[in-house]
Amino acid sequence: MSYIILYALLGVGLFVLGLYALIIHAHLLRKILAINVMGTGVFLVLVALAARHQDAPPDPVPHAMVITGIVVAVSATALALILMLKVYAATGKTELHDGKPD
């Protein structure tokens, strides 16, 4: 066991914190940020564990996965932000209404 595992634990912490924020907060921007925090947590777990064997070089595969994941996260965040602005423009609210039409 090495100190590197602490980063992985931190990743788990971020994931759960993000989840908490996603559930608790109603404001859409906070929800989007929470999703990003969760994502960062997952990436941290991936990358940190890749370096857990100190005698070997870090495993490059999780790094590649994280880069892919980041691009996906950026794309999704961009779409989410614009969608949020559109929701705001259409409803005047920064929150989701509870889905019952009319």
Partner 1 sequence: MTGDLLGIPWAVLLILLPLIGGLACFLLPSLSKSLGLLCALAILVAVGGLGWQLAENGAQRYAIGGWGAPLGIDLYADGLSLLMLVMAALVGLGVSVYSSAYFNGDKARHFWPLWLFLWAALNALFLSADIFNLYVTLELLGLAAVALVALAGGADALNAAMRYLLVSLLGSLFYLLGVALIYHGFGSVDIAILAQRIEPSPAAWSAVGLMSAGLLLKTALFPMHFWLPAAHASAPAPVSALLSALVVKAPFYILLRLWLEIFSPTGAAPGQLLGQLLGLLGAAAVLWGGIQALRQTRLKLLIAYSTVAQLGYLFLAFPLGTSIAWKGVFYLLLSHALAKAAMFMAAGNILYFCGHDRITDLDGVAQRLPLTLAAFSLAGVSIMGLPPSGGFVAKWLLLETALRSGQWWWAAILILGGLLAAAYIFQVIGHAFTQADAPAETGLVPARMEWTAVMFAFAAILLGFFATDAFELIGIGAPTSGVSGG
Partner 2 sequence: MTDNQQTGKAFRLLLVLLLSAIAGWLAYAVLALSSSPAGLGEQVVTHLDTSGVGNPVTAVLLNFRGYDTLLEMAVLLVALLGVWSLGGIADYRESPPGPVLDTLSRLLVPVLILVAAYLLWVGADAPGGAFQAGSVLGAAGVLLLLSGWRLGNRFAGLLLRAVLVLGLGLFVIAGTGLFLIGGAFLEYPPSLAGGLILLIEAAATMTIGATLAALFLGNRPRVEPDK
**Closest CA relative to residue 48, chosen from 1, 8, 3:** 8
> Using the rule CB under 8 A, which residue among 31, 56, 60, 63 binds partner 1?
31
Nearest distance from residue 98's CB to partner 1, in Å? 9
Q: Distance between CA 78 and CA 32 in Å, rounded?
A: 10
CA atoms within 13 A on the CB side of 83: 11
Count, residues in the chain: 102
Note the residues at the interface with partner 1 (CB under 8 A). 15, 19, 22, 28, 31-32, 35, 38-39, 41-42, 45-46, 49-50, 52, 61-62, 65, 68-69, 72, 75-76, 79-80, 83-84, 86-87, 90-91, 96-97, 99, 101
